[in-house]
């Protein structure tokens, strides 16, 4: 009995925000509504120890659903182009790393340099390497979908974090495009995810 009640509650929350997103003309509010529906599904399906972060849970969830999501995500579609232009970094893209010699380097340039110099970053744990690996997976047409799709959702998660923490806005064209593309992708995926979950 309790399991049925929990499933109904999860479904009501997920479907409410999904429907809200479908009816929302503003890309930011549509993205937020879809994100709440999506993270409800992630939290419902991933039970992890406290030390496992949200990024890991999102990756694990998307990896487990990749076979279904591949039907609705087209990596060659127009909505994907903004994710292939440049890596999505945490914080503003004006953030720079200051080196010991006092020279500055934009974080996204650090990410691109990591890709050029190290190539395979699978076993690296620092943020720049993780961002670089996600970018590499998204832009590699030969990458396994169980790697490519989770990397895409980690990039969408960074868009969400940047939006919620003040580093994305509709003033910059790229930011607006990232928010719209993220909402479009989530909207495409939620219908499939809700059907397979409930």
pLDDT digits (tens, 9 = 90+) for 94-126: 445 555 666 666 666 666 665 565 544 444 446
Q: Could you tell me the pLDDT band of residue 8, with boundaries at 50, 70 and 90?
A: confident
Q: So what's the pLDDT on residue 91?
A: 59
Percentage of the residues of the chain whose pLDDT score is greater than 90? 55
Number of structural domains (the chain) is: 1
* Number of CB atoms found within 10 A of residue 30's CB: 22
Cα dihedral 35→36→37→38 (10° resolution): 50
Q: So what's the pLDDT on residue 122?
A: 43
Is it the case that residue 1 has pLDDT exceeding 60?
no
Q: How far apart are the first and last CA of the chain?
A: 16
Range of the domain at 187: 2-197
Report the 3 state secondary structure along 47-116.
CCCCCCCHHHHHHHHHHHHHHHHCCCCCCCCHHHHHHHHCCCCCCCCCCEEECCCCCEEEHHHHHHHHHH
Percentage of the residues of the chain whose pLDDT score is greater than 70? 75
User: Which residue matches tokens 């809200």?
Assistant: 20
Is it the case that residue 35 has pLDDT exceeding 80?
yes
C-beta of residue 88 within 8 angstroms of C-beta of residue 131: yes
Contacts (Cβ under 8 Å, ≥6 apart) of 16: 37
Better pLDDT: 9 or 37: 37
């Amino acid at each position: 009995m309790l399991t049925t009640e929990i499933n109904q509650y999860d479904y009501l929350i997920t479907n409410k925000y999904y429907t809200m997103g479908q009816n929302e003309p503003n890309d930011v509010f549509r993205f937020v509504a879809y994100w709440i529906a999506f993270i409800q599904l992630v939290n419902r399906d991933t039970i992890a120890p406290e030390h496992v972060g949200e990024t890991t849970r999102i990756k694990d969830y998307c990896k487990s659903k990749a076979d279904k999501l591949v039907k609705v995500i087209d990596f060659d579609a127009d909505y994907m182009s903004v994710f292939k232009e440049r890596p999505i970094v945490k914080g503003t893209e004006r953030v720079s790393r200051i080196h010991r010699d006092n020279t500055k380097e934009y974080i996204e340039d650090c990410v691109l340099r990591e890709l050029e110099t190290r190539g395979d970053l699978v076993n690296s744990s620092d943020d720049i390497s993780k961002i670089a690996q996600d970018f590499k997976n998204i832009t590699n047409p030969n990458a396994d979908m169980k790697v490519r799709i989770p990397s895409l959702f980690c990039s969408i998660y960074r868009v969400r974090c940047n939006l919620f923490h003040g580093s994305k806005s509709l003033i910059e064209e790229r930011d607006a495009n990232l928010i719209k593309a993220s909402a479009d992708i989530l909207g495409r995926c939620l219908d499939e995810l809700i059907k397979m979950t409930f």
